[in-house]
Amino acid sequence: MIDLLLSYLNNSSAITIFVLALLSVYLVTTFWIFIYRYLSISSLVDTEKKALEALISRDTLSISPLSSLSKCSKSQTHTKEILSACEISIIRESSVGVSWLSIISSTSPFVGLFGTVVGILESFAKFSSHSKVGFSIIAPAISEALVATAAGIFVAIFAYTFHQMLVRKIYELDTFLKAQSKILVSRG
């Protein structure tokens, strides 16, 4: 398998190698963002869920010290505006980096397609000096060029899936924050 990969890279052009290197960076970045953000957002969701349960279970007017809202709104008077501003700030901070997954998922197929087009053009340029070229010669060259598109789609699948998972976690976090805010505003 390694020999096949090395042979492919040895026969590839600089553009194809650049495209595959860029897609590799995209893939590593995708996994790094997902793992880092998923763990941090999951921790926030768990904390806010516990804080909401604590707020519901007792008749106190104060926010649980566990909640991110308690760090944001220090005053004892919890106005709707202050709590709303706190929610926005917490959601903004928790969603840092998530837009990069969207960018990667939308651009990586095009990067791969660019590599494929360049690979096919280079293959046709190689075959231009031959008087007769059959399908048995063209097919392997085109299939090698299609590797870049496959790599782009592969990266896009992970980036899009991870983006959707993080958006869902951020929605859960927002739901818990809004519920706490509504309870605090209603209690006065």
Blockwise average pLDDT, block size 10, the chain, 188 residues: 74 82 96 96 93 78 74 70 88 93 96 92 81 77 86 96 97 93 80
Give the helix, strand, coil percentages of the chain, each rounded to 5: 85, 0, 15
On whether the CB atoms of residues 153 and 46 are closer than 8 A, the answer is no
At residue 153, the pLDDT reads 97
Burial 121-150 (b: 16+ CB within 10 A, else e): ebbeeeeeeeeeeeeeeeeebeebbebbbe
At residue 186, the pLDDT reads 81
Predicted TM-score (pTM) of this structure:
0.85
Cβ-count burial of 177 within 10 angstroms (0-12 exposed, 13-18 middle, 19+ buried)?
buried
Sequence letter at residue 132: K
